Amino acid sequence: MNEKLNEGLKKLGLEFSQNQISRIETYISCVLEFNKTYNLMKADSTDELTVNHILDSLAAAPSIASFIQKIQEKKNIASLQIADIGSGGGCPGIPLAVAFPEQNFMLVERMEKRCGFLESAVCKMNLSNVKVNCIQADLIKPESFDIEVFRAFHPFDSKNTKLLLRMLKKGGILAAYKARTEKISAEMESIKFLVPSYKKIKLEVPFLEDHERNLVVVEK
């Protein structure tokens, strides 16, 4: 039993079924098995992976839930198209897909080896709401997604921001996991002509209380 995971979920106010918890545990096992081979993410132990990546990804789940509801009500649709851009080892896309099984998730990743890992992990987890797209992000057709999330894609600069906004549907929401407020302010100031306004939501990651984490939210 992963005590850090169970305690972290409680701290985040997330009620996962045993099936959801089992899927997360399967994902953790997959990452730890292939991490050194594919350089998926910085984590050497179950606890480190659980806290720094799984719980970090899920810290935004309450905010993502509110975004989903907002778009559902506005567009009168039940299932949204949500993309994890530059998914890498699968965070935050896979943990969020477990949290929101009724939504459609796409993991966008350009490296074939990592795509192979993602497809294998999704299969072992039996995640029917997740698809892996092994493609350069700039080759994705415009206005494909209702919500885009990313943790380690790229900084907000003119080129990347234009790309992210191009893939987003009108009325869609971009949610970027970021760290220090000072760096966020500098990045967003540099693209003010593209993104005149944004929201910054402070994230509380269980067991990482001393680390500043924020969610930068942009609406199209």
pLDDT of residue 116: 97
When divided into structural domains, the chain yields a total of: 1
| 174 phi and psi angles, rounded to 5 deg | -105, 125
pLDDT in tens, 10-53: 999 999 999 999 999 999 999 999 998 998 999 989 999 999 99
Q: What is the domain-level CATH number for residue 132?
A: 3.40.50.150
Distant-in-sequence, close-in-space partners of 197: CB < 8 Å, separation ≥ 6: none
What is residue 198's predicted lDDT score, i.e. its pLDDT?
Answer: 98
Residues 30, 20, 46, 84, CA torsion sign: positive
- Tell whether 151 is in a known binding site: yes
Q: What is the pLDDT of residue 153?
A: 66
Give the domain range for residue 141: 3-219
Q: Answer yes or no: is 116 a known binding residue.
A: no
Other residues' Cβ atoms within 10 Å of the Cβ of residue 29:
15
Residue matched to tokens 């894609």: 153
- Give me the residues of the chain with pLDDT under 50, please: none
pTM greater than the 0.95 cutoff: yes
